[in-house]
Amino acid sequence: MSTRALVITSNVGVEQDELLKPLEFLRSKGIETIHAAPEQHSVQTVKQDKEHAQHYDPDALLSKIDADDYDILIIPGGTVNADTLRMNDDAQKLVRQFSDAQKPIAAICHGPWLLINAGRIKDKNLTSYSSIQLDLENAGGNWVNEEVHRCNTGGWVLITSRSPDDLPAFNDAILKELEGNPKTE
C-alpha cells in the first residue's frame, strides 16, 4: 500500500502557501496527497490573512473521509480557516481518530486551534503562530518557539510549525515522519 497524506481545510481563509506548498511538496515525492474540505466547492486562499489569493478545489469532502485510509493528517493555518475548521465536527472527529490510532498529525500556524476543540492538546509540546500561544497553554499544551517541533507525548506524534516562513522545515519533518526517519525530540 502506498503512503497517503490527508490535508484538511475549511472552504475560506486558508493561508495559500500553507495549503499548496505541502500538497506540492508531498506529491513531488510520490506521496498520494488528498485535500478535503467541508463543501465540494473551491477553497478561498489568502496571503497573510488579508489579501485574497487563488481558489483551489478540494479533492474530497471531510464528511466522506475515513482516517484508516491515510498515514498522516495535515492542518494548514490561516486565521479564518483555523477558526472555522475548529468548529467543524468532521474535522474534530478526524483529529480524534488519527490520534487514537496513533497516526501523526502536522499543524502549522493557527492550525493547532483545531486540536483544542478536538480535545487533543493536553500535555502536548508544540509551536504555532505566536498569537495563539496563550490559547494552547490554557488548553494544557506546552508552547515552544521553534521552527518545527515534533512531540510524541501521549503515544501519537504531533509536528508543528509557526508560520509560512517555516514551511521548508515543516515539509521536511512531515516527509521524514512518513519515511520513518523522524528527528528525535
pLDDT in tens, 99-158: 999 999 999 999 999 999 999 999 999 999 999 999 999 999 999 999 999 999 999 999
pLDDT band at 175 (very low <50, low <70, confident <90, very high): very high
Of 35, 52, 109, 149, which residue is the catalytic one?
109
143: buried, middle or exposed (CB in 10 Å: 19+, 13-18, 0-12)?
buried
pLDDT, mean of residues 54-76: 97
Helix, strand or coil for residue 1? coil
35 is catalytic: no
pLDDT band at 181 (very low <50, low <70, confident <90, very high): confident
The mean pLDDT value of the chain amounts to 96
Distance separating alpha carbons of residues 51 and 16, to the nearest angstrom: 10
pLDDT for 49 equals 87
Closest CA to 162 of 146, 150, 143, 138: 146
Q: Where are the domains of the chain?
A: 4-179
pLDDT for 183 equals 61
Of 35, 41, 110, 151, which residue is the catalytic one?
110
Put residue 51 in one of left, alpha, beta given phi > 0 → left and psi -120 to 50 → alpha: beta
pLDDT at 62 over 90: yes
Question: β-pairing, 125-126 with 142-143?
Answer: parallel
pLDDT for 149 equals 98
The cell for 22 is: 505541502
pLDDT for 1 equals 52
110 is catalytic: yes
pLDDT for 21 equals 98
pTM for the whole thing?
0.96
pLDDT at 53 over 80: yes
Query: Which CATH number is associated with domain 4-179?
Result: 3.40.50.880
Contact 8, 36 (CB under 8 A): yes
